[in-house]
Chain A
Amino acid sequence: MQLAMKGAVGLLITAAIGLSGCARVEPWDRDVLARPDMQLVSDPIEQATDDHIYFSKEASSGGQGFGGGGCGCN
């Protein structure tokens, strides 16, 4: 398990270094990415609702955020 985590850290850092060469969107070109509907989580309540529903009905949870639960529903 620890090995998998180290592997994931290594992979992400490698990817970050690799990607750092490819994109260069300057701050003054962030008008589109700064829009509320372009945020990674654009509707936090909807996201929390869906996480809660699927956590209680499926064997998987988390992914984009923490999957710890905090509910007796599963």
Chain B
Amino acid sequence: MQLKKRRNAKLREIGTPLAAATCALLGQAVPGSVQAQELMPWDIDTSLLIYSESDGRVQDTSLSLRARKEMREEKFLDLSLTLDSLTGASPSGAAPAGVVQTFTNPSGNAQYAIAPGEQALDPSFLDTRVAMAGNWQMPVGRLSLLSVGASLSDEYDYTHTGINANLARDFNNRNTTLSFGVALANDSIDPVGGSPVGLAPMLGLGDTSNKRGDESKDVTDFLIGLTQVINRHTIVQFNYSLSQSDGYLTDPYKVLSVVDPVTGNPVAGPAGSGLYRYLYESRPDSRDKQSVFALLKRDFNGDVFEASYRYMTDDWGVDSHTAELRYRFNFGTSRYLQPHVRFYQQTAADFYQTVLFAGAPLPAYASADHRLGEFDGITLGLKYGQATTSGNEWSARLEYYTQTGNASPGAAVGSLANLDLYPDLNALIAQFSYKFGRR
């Protein structure tokens, strides 16, 4: 009986295949007839997230629920649900100008104006997103763990469906784990007002003649991982991943300004439209990304140090480095404080251009989306967590994320030299989580 209690106490703590594998090994000491008679409760994680960008940009309120249960001996079901409510304004990609700029919104039935010198933000950004996922994890033989899953998400203009599988096998007395995963996704995009023809001009009110129908993309991900126990207090993980996307990878709501190559001023758009000239962006229809990821976790007398690094490179010309550090100060067994810092740096995609110049031949692909530009990102955060007397746990974290970037080389001509072509992005991330069900 004592054995059973100890074993169940252990099982409740586990959250990853490694721990599951550890317990499976401990479990061998338990006679089969004693196992799995007791119903395990659902472990429930809930969270409320407020993501808020400054200057009236994107605001996201998000509710998440994740439930995990041991359905049968060492077989786990994971279910998750997330609801996002997005409002605010999103950069259209157009450059600021010394004059008032008017834009037709994506639906084509309204227009908005941007004051001189201001960043062009499309105020019609509004969406609700529902995402759900399910995952089944089970042992295969004595040393392997298989998990299979499916995901689904739906937005007003976007639907995602995906499946994934991962097989992990332990070696070396369970000190080493090798894993291999595959994920397939098929997403469909049904942009408001239709998907614009690449590099076609924005048209006046009510004219949708350069918009087309739905689009789609397929994404295939491969992930190969190695987890190694270094000693009783240290574990490391190395991953290599490859992600291949094919299909419509363009952002249907982003445009580029066409400006005079000498004065930097916007040039006239289609006759009778009353607009300056803005061209819808166009991206290649395939993208291959590769990344390597390394993680180290170490226990220091009950505190936990975590460091990770990721290098990513893709065939669009983007290279990025991401480094993260966390240190969890555990105060006894019931309270902790965890500072977090994240550094991110990326180079621009080959076709990233802050503006296009009038009279120059059109490139095959072009985007002024800041997320494809050269920038640095820094996140600073602090999290506090506390166990309740009933054994549940709540935590709260506050993080500040900032992006500082550069316009594409040679973009700051004439009047553009005095304007902010890559405004900083500042965002607050506040999240409150509550976990219960663990006895």
Cβ of B242 and Cβ of A12 under 8 Å apart?
Answer: no
A residues neighboring B (CB under 8 Å): 1, 4-5, 8-9, 11-13, 15-16, 19-20, 22-27, 29-30, 32-46, 48-49, 52-54, 57-72, 74
Cβ of A71 and Cβ of B160 under 8 Å apart?
Answer: yes
A42 to B219, CA, bound (A): 27
Known: A57-B425, A58-B320, A62-B291. A34 touches B178 (CB 8 A): no
Which residue from chain B places its CB closest to the CB of A65 in the assembled complex?
B223
Question: By CB atoms of chain B within 10 A, which of A4, A61, A68 has the most?
Answer: A68
User: Residue A49 contacts which of B22, B49, B318 (CB distance < 8 angstroms)?
Assistant: B49
Question: By CB atoms of chain A within 10 A, which of B185, B226, B241, B401 has the most?
Answer: B241
Cβ of B15 and Cβ of A67 under 8 Å apart?
Answer: no
User: Residue B295 contacts which of A27, A61, A64, A72 (CB distance < 8 angstroms)?
Assistant: A64
Cβ of A60 and Cβ of B221 under 8 Å apart?
Answer: no
* B residues 61-120 touching A (CB-CB < 8 Å): 62, 64, 66, 80, 82
> How many residues of B are in contact with the other chain, CB < 8 A?
105
For B240, what are the chain A residues with a Cβ–Cβ distance below 8 Å?
5, 8, 11-12
For B22, what are the chain A residues with a Cβ–Cβ distance below 8 Å?
27, 30, 33-34
CB distance from B11 to the nearest CB of A (A): 10
CB distance from A74 to the nearest CB of B (A): 7
B residues neighboring A (CB under 8 Å): 10, 13-16, 18-19, 22-23, 25-26, 45-47, 49, 51, 62, 64, 66, 80, 82, 127, 129, 131, 151, 153, 155, 157-158, 160, 162, 164, 171-176, 178, 181, 183, 185, 187, 189, 219, 221-233, 235, 237-244, 251, 288-293, 295, 297, 299, 304, 308, 310, 312, 314, 316, 318, 320, 322, 328, 330, 336, 344, 346, 349, 371-372, 377, 383, 395, 397, 401, 403, 425, 427, 429, 431, 433
Known: A13-B178, A16-B176, A35-B13. A60 touches B310 (CB 8 A): yes
CB distance from B314 to the nearest CB of A (A): 8
User: Residue B241 contacts which of A39, A48, A67, A72 (CB distance < 8 angstroms)?
Assistant: A67
Cβ of A57 and Cβ of B371 under 8 Å apart?
Answer: yes
Cβ of A1 and Cβ of B219 under 8 Å apart?
Answer: no
User: Residue B235 contacts which of A13, A33, A45, A46 (CB distance < 8 angstroms)?
Assistant: A33
Cβ of A33 and Cβ of B15 under 8 Å apart?
Answer: no
Known: A12-B178, A58-B346, A68-B185. A34 touches B23 (CB 8 A): yes
A3 to B192, CA, bound (A): 41
User: Residue A25 contacts which of B26, B231, B299 (CB distance < 8 angstroms)?
Assistant: B231
Cβ of B155 and Cβ of A72 under 8 Å apart?
Answer: yes
Given contacts A66-B243, A71-B155, 19 further A-B contacts (CB under 8 A): A5-B222, A23-B229, A25-B232, A32-B233, A32-B299, A33-B22, A36-B15, A39-B16, A44-B15, A44-B45, A53-B427, A60-B312, A63-B239, A65-B223, A66-B164, A66-B221, A67-B241, A68-B219, A71-B129
User: Residue A16 contacts which of B160, B226, B230 (CB distance < 8 angstroms)?
Assistant: B226
Question: By CB atoms of chain B within 10 A, which of A11, A15, A37, A39 has the most?
Answer: A37
- 22 A-B interface contacts by CB (under 8 A): A1-B242, A8-B224, A19-B226, A23-B172, A24-B175, A25-B232, A32-B233, A33-B19, A37-B304, A38-B235, A39-B16, A41-B16, A42-B15, A44-B15, A46-B433, A52-B82, A53-B401, A57-B425, A68-B183, A68-B219, A69-B187, A70-B162
A62 to B64, CA, bound (A): 20
Known: A45-B433, A46-B433, A53-B51. A60 touches B235 (CB 8 A): no
